[in-house]
Structures are given as structure tokens and as C-alpha cells.
Amino acid sequence: MALVNENYLKLPGSYLFSDIAREIQSFKKINPEVRLINLGIGDVTKPLPEVCVKAMHKAVDEMSNAATFRGYGPGQGYDFLINAIIRNNYQSRGVSLDKSEIFISDGSKSDTGNFCDILSTDNSVGLTDPIYPVYVDSNVIDGRAGDIGRDGRWSNITYMPCTAENNFLPRIPGHRVDIIYLCYPNNPTGTVLTREQLKEWVDYALANDTLILYDSAYEAFIRDKNIPHTIYEIKNAKKCAVEFRSFSKIAGFTGVRCAYTVVPHEVSGALSDDSRTSLNKLWSRRQSTKFNGTSYITQRGAEAIFTPEGKKQVRKIIDYYLENARIMRDGMQDAGLTVYGGVNAPYIWLKTPEGKTSWKFFEYLLHRAHVIGTPGSGFGPSGEGYLRLTAFGERYDCIEAMERIRRNFNR
């Protein structure tokens, strides 16, 4: 008899996107002539930068020749990519890392989820709310989250609400928590932490022996000088933080799959006898056991974004999305709506007017302005009363959507 991990049965169904699809289908049935504009897209839409395509084509050719063919690669990734990452993303910001502190992978979703493997189920967990659902669900699967209450909160998780009331600044917990997830620039709220604000978290972590799991998937969207690009810009963060980075949002790799995780040698975890062990060693063991590397072709594609031409092409794509975000922010503010985020991030967090619930306002926007968003309540209890809009659409759609919204909301 094979017993199952019953924690999986505790996970609530993931109905958000299927519920949205159903609402849209039934609207289309009644209004076949209406052209809906989707501002809820949770994926990039611009194709791969040309430099990546070229590099990958070349890599495929190498694979076709016995003299240059590559089989299994080095477990943590090829040096050419690791060195490019260290030089361009860390050294350039005054952070020195050793090659052995970087682990190339197939995605930050897998890495943030899998990292739980090397941590005891006895840890307490803290998260900002609303949040990327992967962090919650992977802790539920491990049995670390406890039970879900009627209010949608798990009993063993410390929630740090981020709402307009606290200006989306999560409050540092009054008690100690073993593991804290931070995601900045944030999905779904599009808000950021300044260097000083992030320093408070690092100080808390150092004082309380807390491990920070820092997801920086949207780093490429940062334009302001006082927003840190990596948590290691903060002094001593190497002692308490692991950082997750992905090529998905910077270079359209959502379908290609490439990311990396930084596990500094200095960050350690406790054993039950109060001794310490290196998380880098454990993660290395975990990856070499259960993961066989990202393809050579993919890693060559990722390397290309660090060339001068690659940087130019990436910048152009991100600038395009950021300009969409600006147009959307301005348009909605013009219409008298209240919005957050959308600067240094591709997400805009719209406060629903007149105290409407996320779902009510989703329906209202669909029926009145023919614009699709994503109900904020799908990202956690504190997302209620908000809608997430993304800047990943086409420019003309963003402009047209703002006109429709202005027509419907201007008093």
C-alpha cells in the first residue's frame, strides 16, 4: 500500500484562472462583437531578444557535431554563464561571489519551491500578503503551514499584510520567525523596498537568526537608484539570505526556462544539537541528487543577454513594458482611480473603488470597460479589494484600455 503525502489534499483548489476564464467565456457568448482587452496577462509577450536566438542556434549546431557535442554539463551550470552573472549582476554592484555560490536551474518557481527540501518541517514561516502563491503552497506540501482557517490563512504562517493602509510596507514581526520570504519588486503589488527598508529586514534576520528567501525575479525593472538590485547590496546579507533570480521576465525565458539561485557560503542553518551547517553544501547535494542541469543551449542563450548588444536589446524590451505601465498608471489616475506599483515593476495594483470586492470589480471592469484584470484576492487574504493589472500587453491595447476606463470612470 502506497501512502500518499496527505498535505497535498490540504491545498485548496487553484481556481483563480479557471474562474476568470469561465467569466470571460460567458461574457463573450452574450457579447460576441465586443473586443476584450486583457490586462491580466501573467506572462511576457515580446519574443526572445535576437542575441539569445543567435546564441541558441549556434549552440544547436555545436550539438550536431561530435567534436563540439555536449552531454551532461557541470551540475551547478557552465562557468561561462556563472562568470557572466557574477561579473554583470554582482561585481558591478560591489558584491563579490564565488562561482560555487551560484546554482543555474530551470526556473525560480522550482527553486523557491524546492528550497524547502533542505529545511526542517519544524521551522516557522513568515510571508508578505498578498504573495506569489508558490511560497505558501510548497510549505503546505511539506507540512509546515498547519491548517487553513476560514479567513484563508494558514495557522502556522505569520502573515505580514501589505495594503494601502501601511503603504505596502510589511511590518517586521514582533516575534522571531525562522524563514521569511520576500519578493521585490513585488508580484502582485508592483511595490518595491528601498535600500534602507530592506536593511531593516536584514537587521531583523541577523538579530533573530532568520533565513531570508529573497525572490528578485523582477530585478530588471528597477530604474530608481535607491532600490537595491540584489539583497547582497545590504551589509552582512550574505550571512542570512538566499537570492532567487530568473531569466524569465528579463529576457522572455518563461518558455525557454533558465534561472539561478545564490547560496552564499556564509549562510548556515542549525542542527538539533545547536551546531551549524552550510546551506550551500545542502543545496548542492539536493540539486546534484534531483536535478541534472539546464541545457547547454539554454545557458548559451542566457549568457548572450550579458553581451553589450544583449544588454541593449533587453533594455529596449523592459523599457517598452515600463512605458506601458506608466501609461496605465497615468490613465487610471486620470480616471480618478487609485493605483500602486507600476514603477520599477511590471505590475499595477488597482484599489477597487467604493469598497467593491476584487471579484465584483473584476466583473464591473469586464462588463463596463471590456477590460480584463486579475482579482487581487487570488494572491492572498490581504489582496481583497484590489485588482492586478500587468504591463505585458501591446501598447495600443494599453492606450485603448485607458480610454475605455476614462470613459467609464470620469465623473
Q: Does 293 bind ligand PLP (CB under 6 A)?
A: no
Q: 268: alpha, beta or left, given left = phi > 0 and alpha = psi -120 to 50?
A: beta
Q: Which of residues 197-216 bind ligand PLP (CB under 6 A)?
A: 215
Among 38, 89, 108, 295, binds ligand PLP (CB under 6 A): 108
Q: Does 294 bind ligand PLP (CB under 6 A)?
A: no
Q: Smallest distance, Å, CB 248 to ligand PLP?
A: 3
Q: Smallest distance, Å, CB 79 to ligand PLP?
A: 21
Q: Does 374 bind ligand PLP (CB under 6 A)?
A: no
| DSSP strand pairing (241-246 vs 259-262) | antiparallel
Q: Smallest distance, Å, CB 293 to ligand PLP?
A: 15
Q: Smallest distance, Å, CB 105 to ligand PLP?
A: 8
Cis before 185? omega within 30: yes
Does residue 338 contact residue 350 with C-beta atoms inside 8 Å? yes
Q: Smallest distance, Å, CB 378 to ligand PLP?
A: 13
Q: Smallest distance, Å, CB 154 to ligand PLP?
A: 19
> Residue 129, SS3?
strand
Among 59, 116, 183, 193, binds ligand PLP (CB under 6 A): 183
* HSE-up of residue 174 (Cα within 13 Å, Cβ side): 0
Size of the site for ligand PLP (CB under 6 A): 13
Letter string b/e over residues 350-383, b meaning 16 or more CB atoms within 10 A of that residue's CB:
bbbeeebebbebbebbbeebbbbbbbbbbbbebb
Complex with ligand PLP: residue 105 or 268, whichever CB lies closer: 105
Complex with ligand PLP: residue 321 or 404, whichever CB lies closer: 321
Q: Which of residues 48-107 bind ligand PLP (CB under 6 A)?
A: 107
Contact string (CB under 6 A) for ligand PLP, positions 237-266, x = contact: ---------x-xx----x----x-------
Lookup result for grid cell 515593476: 345
Complex with ligand PLP: residue 132 or 349, whichever CB lies closer: 132
Q: Which of residues 297-336 bind ligand PLP (CB under 6 A)?
A: none
Q: Which residue pairs from 78-83 have beta carbons closer than 8 angstroms and sit at least 24 positions apart in sequence?
A: 78/104, 78/296, 78/299, 80/299, 80/300, 80/303, 81/299, 81/300, 81/302, 81/303, 82/260
Contact string (CB under 6 A) for ligand PLP, positions 121-160, x = contact: -----------x----------------------------
Q: Does 217 bind ligand PLP (CB under 6 A)?
A: yes
> Residue 257, SS3?
coil
Which residue's CB atom is positioned nearest to ligand PLP?
A: 107
End-to-end CA distance of the chain: 65
Inter-CA distances, 128 with 14, 132, 160, Å: 20, 9, 5
Q: Does 109 bind ligand PLP (CB under 6 A)?
A: yes
Q: Smallest distance, Å, CB 156 to ligand PLP?
A: 22
Complex with ligand PLP: residue 187 or 189, whichever CB lies closer: 187
Q: Smallest distance, Å, CB 149 to ligand PLP?
A: 24
Inter-CA distances, 32 with 25, 35, 36, 72, 403, Å: 10, 8, 10, 51, 21
Complex with ligand PLP: residue 389 or 405, whichever CB lies closer: 389
Q: Does 344 bind ligand PLP (CB under 6 A)?
A: no
Q: Smallest distance, Å, CB 44 to ligand PLP?
A: 9
| DSSP strand pairing (125-129 vs 179-183) | parallel
* HSE-up of residue 15 (Cα within 13 Å, Cβ side): 7
Does residue 388 contact residue 376 with C-beta atoms inside 8 Å? yes
> Residue 320, SS3?
helix
Q: Classify burial at 72, counting beta carbons within 10 Å of its beta carbon; exposed 0-12, middle 13-18, buried 19 or more.
A: exposed
Does residue 392 contact residue 45 with C-beta atoms inside 8 Å? yes
Q: Does 370 bind ligand PLP (CB under 6 A)?
A: no
Q: Does 388 bind ligand PLP (CB under 6 A)?
A: no
Q: Smallest distance, Å, CB 346 to ligand PLP?
A: 9
Radius of gyration over every alpha carbon of the chain, rounded to an integer in angstroms = 22
User: What are the residues binding ligand PLP (CB under 6 A)?
Assistant: 107-109, 132, 183, 187, 215, 217, 246, 248-249, 254, 259
